[in-house]
């Protein structure tokens, strides 16, 4: 189950590692996704349309 907390254009999503992360035009660049079971944090790269893990390098 994914929940969202939106402020202005960016949103913070909370879910589990097994959850499919949201994508597409409804997800603003820089939005973040926190996997509550693994503590992994991802930021959305709208130009590439992908979630990038924080601290995973370039």
Domain count, the chain: 1
Each residue's pLDDT tens digit, 9-57: 789 999 999 999 998 888 999 999 999 999 999 999 999 999 999 987 6
What local confidence, expressed as pLDDT, does residue 31 receive?
A: 95
What local confidence, expressed as pLDDT, does residue 57 receive?
A: 64
Cα 11 to chain center, whole Å? 8
58 inside domain: no
Residue 4 has pLDDT above 80, yes or no: no
Residue 6 has pLDDT above 70, yes or no: no
Domain of residue 31 covers 3-53
Between residues 51 and 3, the one the model is more confident about: 51
Whether residue 45 contacts residue 29, with contact meaning beta carbons closer than 8 Å, is answered with yes
What local confidence, expressed as pLDDT, does residue 44 receive?
A: 96
DSSP 1-58: --EEEEETTEEEEEE-TTSPPP-STTSPTT-EEEETTT--EEEEETTTTEEEETTS--
9 inside domain: yes
């Amino acid at each position: 189950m994914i929940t969202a907390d939106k402020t202005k254009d960016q949103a913070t999503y909370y879910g589990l590692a097994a959850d499919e992360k949201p994508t597409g035009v409804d997800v603003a660049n820089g939005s973040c996704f926190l996997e509550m079971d693994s503590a992994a944090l991802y930021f959305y790269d709208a130009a590439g349309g992908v979630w990038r893990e924080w601290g995973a390098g370039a």
